[in-house]
């Protein structure tokens, strides 16, 4: 087990612990699964709408996921399907993040051979704690928010409404503190999006203990939490683009000979892939250094490929580009999961002086 400093220096090691094939693979599998669920839900809703909705959407977006809060001009049915897809993505992300956090904490404890299967086994026993913490915080927030809503609603009743509001005004100071509590819980819920997987993976806590830990972080170490998350964000801002450029360079090096020897064919294949990705390749090449080697040159965009071989090649090119983007996002998520696990370890030591690593080792011994 490596010596920990329990300060910002530990957070800086998130890049090393996040750059792991196992952890990136876990998040990549989660991204692929979430992407498939999202796209299936969207296109099923479009087929349910009928007419040319599915064809129009394909012509505009292709395989590119359209977000529900963007100006898509779609029907309410499709927008609902999109939001369900976003919810599925969030669930899969937190489950994958718990697996990555569990692998990270076991590495920090000295077990560098802790496998993905072991982490998945742990997840099967504790996934209820992850979702239970989120649901518990939401229910508390909803319950507290209903109090002023009910009072305002009763105030609309005839005859007794105005006297009721007058009497309720006597409790205005209590209402002020209630509003502050609602605001605090909103902040705690935001923090829980960062630390619930880490808390569950690190301590194996149930939902109630996990919720308590979120309050402890916000109440006892708010500024350290902000500072550590800023440090983690800056590291993502630096190293994720480097990883993206590395992936881009690898793809360009492999595709360069084919692009030079089969220029016309590759331009046509790239045009097909660009069409299926909603014009994403064309927009991507507008960025600096993206098309330095000319492997993304786009020819005449045709609705369909002219030959079976061209179609197959275009399909695999499209899938490769999607996988490359997925690898970049998976690395971002891996840094976030590993980094927040390390942030929680530091914060927990600052809150109550509890070294979770040494404590577990003593228990095992």
Determine which of 174-183, 258-267, 297-306 has the lowest per-residue pLDDT on average.
297-306
Question: What are the pLDDT digits (tens) for 25-43?
Answer: 999 999 999 999 999 999 9
Q: pLDDT-based confidence at 297, cuts 50/70/90?
A: confident
pLDDT at residue 10 greater than cutoff 50:
yes
pLDDT at residue 85 greater than cutoff 70:
yes
Torsion angles phi and psi, residue 352, rounded to 5: -130, 10
- C-alpha pair distances (Å), 104 with each of 13, 22, 25, 110, 340: 11, 10, 14, 10, 10
pLDDT at residue 363 greater than cutoff 50:
no
Closest to 130 measured CA to CA, from 191, 199, 27, 37: 199
> Tokens 């919720």 map to which residue?
211
Q: What percent of the chain has pLDDT over 70?
A: 94
Mean pLDDT of 279-305: 72
Q: pLDDT-based confidence at 298, cuts 50/70/90?
A: confident
**Whether this model's pTM surpasses 0.75:** yes
**Where would I find the H helices in the chain?**
8-11, 14-18, 21-49, 53-61, 76-108, 116-154, 161-168, 172-203, 207-220, 222-261, 263-276, 280-284, 308-352, 356-364
Q: Regarding predicted confidence, which is higher, 32 or 278?
A: 32
How high is the pLDDT of residue 300? 58
Determine which of 40-44, 153-157, 334-338 has the lowest per-residue pLDDT on average.
153-157
Mean pLDDT of 8-20: 89
């Amino acid at each position: 087990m490596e010596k920990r400093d329990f300060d910002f220096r530990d957070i800086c090691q998130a890049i090393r612990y996040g750059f792991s094939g196992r952890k990136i693979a876990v998040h990549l599998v989660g991204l692929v699964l979430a992407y498939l669920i999202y796209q299936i839900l969207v296109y099923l809703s479009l087929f349910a709408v009928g007419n040319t909705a599915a064809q129009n959407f394909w012509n505009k977006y292709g395989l590119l996921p359209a977000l529900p809060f963007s100006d898509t001009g779609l029907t309410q049915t499709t927008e609902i399907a999109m939001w369900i897809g976003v919810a599925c993505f969030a669930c899969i992300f937190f489950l994958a993040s718990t697996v990555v956090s569990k692998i990270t904490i076991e590495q920090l404890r000295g077990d560098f051979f802790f496998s993905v299967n072991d982490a998945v086994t742990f997840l099967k026993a504790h996934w209820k704690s992850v979702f239970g913490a989120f649901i518990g915080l939401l229910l508390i927030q909803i319950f507290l928010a209903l109090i002023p809503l009910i009072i305002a609603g009763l105030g609309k009743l005839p005859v007794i409404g105005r006297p009721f509001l007058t009497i309720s005004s006597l409790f205005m100071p209590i209402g002020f503190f209630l509003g502050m509590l609602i605001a605090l819980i909103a902040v705690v819920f935001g923090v829980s999006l960062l630390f619930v997987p880490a808390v569950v993976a690190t301590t194996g806590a149930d939902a109630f203990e996990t919720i308590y830990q979120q309050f402890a972080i916000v109440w006892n170490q708010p500024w350290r939490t902000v500072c550590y998350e800023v440090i983690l964000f800056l590291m993502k801002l630096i190293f994720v683009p480097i990883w993206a450029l590395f992936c881009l360079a690898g793809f360009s090096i492999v595709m360069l000979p084919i692009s030079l020897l089969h220029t016309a064919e590759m331009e046509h294949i790239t045009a097909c892939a660009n069409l299926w990705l909603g014009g994403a390749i064309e927009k991507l090449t507008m960025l600096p250094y993206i098309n330095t080697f000319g492997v993304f040159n786009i020819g005449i965009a045709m609705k369909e490929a002219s030959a079976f071989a061209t179609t197959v090649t275009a399909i695999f090119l499209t899938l490769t580009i999607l996988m490359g983007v997925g690898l970049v996002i998976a690395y971002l998520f891996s840094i976030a999961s590993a980094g927040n696990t390390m942030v929680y370890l530091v914060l927990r030591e600052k809150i109550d002086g509890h070294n979770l690593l040494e404590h577990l080792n003593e228990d095992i011994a």
